Amino acid sequence: MTMEALSTHPTVLPSPKEMRLFHILAITAGAIAALLPIGLAGFWMGVVPDGVWGSAVPGLPIHAELDLGKRVGAVILGLFPVGLLVWGILRVRQTFMAFATGEVFSARAISGLRDFAIGVGASALIKPLITALLSLFLTWDAPAGSRQLVLQFGSDTALFVLFAGAFLAVTWSMQRAALLAEENSQFV
């Protein structure tokens, strides 16, 4: 039985307080999903060069120029991990909306959580690659010997990947529980 075949009818409706919480979480997720790309673009369009080298790409030389082309290129590169994260956040928004209607073990709720985990994990895994590409892109026109390749893999990346793996395990468990419940309901 596939996940899409799972029942979507609510078994127990959430309390008004729980409904309100899930609606707030859905609205918050939507706002975060909208603000992340705007914040990325705002950062790269407004940042002074000295601020880039210490925060966005540690290890790059301070004397590098940051023209409009580099700023736009940095936004485009940054949209890859941010886009994956936004997709995951929008999918978990669907989960909150399903929870608000009592669809705890529905295909919509489970797949939303699963996709959130995939989005967060993929974003975390691709970020070191994007940072390396960004460092090359920002220093491509620097004099010979000044071009930089920054490789960065930190504990935050490892924690986000672990977080995503834990969420994937939860969704697997939820899917198995829903399938067992569906199977048991046929015996009654």
Which stretches of 68-186 are DSSP H helices?
68-100, 107-139, 155-185
Residue with tokens 């485009």: 76
Per-residue pLDDT at 5: 43
Per-residue pLDDT at 182: 77
Query: With 0-12 CB in 10 A as exposed, 13-18 as middle and 19+ as buried, what is 133?
Result: middle
Query: With 0-12 CB in 10 A as exposed, 13-18 as middle and 19+ as buried, what is 178?
Result: buried
Sites in the chain below the pLDDT cut of 50:
1-2, 4-5
Per-residue pLDDT at 113: 94
CB 107 within 8 A of CB 6: yes
Per-residue pLDDT at 107: 87
Can you give the pTM of this predicted structure?
Answer: 0.82
Instruction: Kindly state the tokens that stand for 9.
Output: 């009818």
Query: With 0-12 CB in 10 A as exposed, 13-18 as middle and 19+ as buried, what is 91?
Result: buried
Instruction: Say how far apart CA 31 and CA 167 lie, in whole Å.
Output: 22
Q: Give first-to-last CA distance, the chain, whole Å.
A: 19
Buried b (16+ CB within 10 A) or exposed e, 102-128: bbbbbbbbbbbbbbbbbbbbbbbbbbb
Per-residue pLDDT at 60: 60
CB 87 within 8 A of CB 97: no
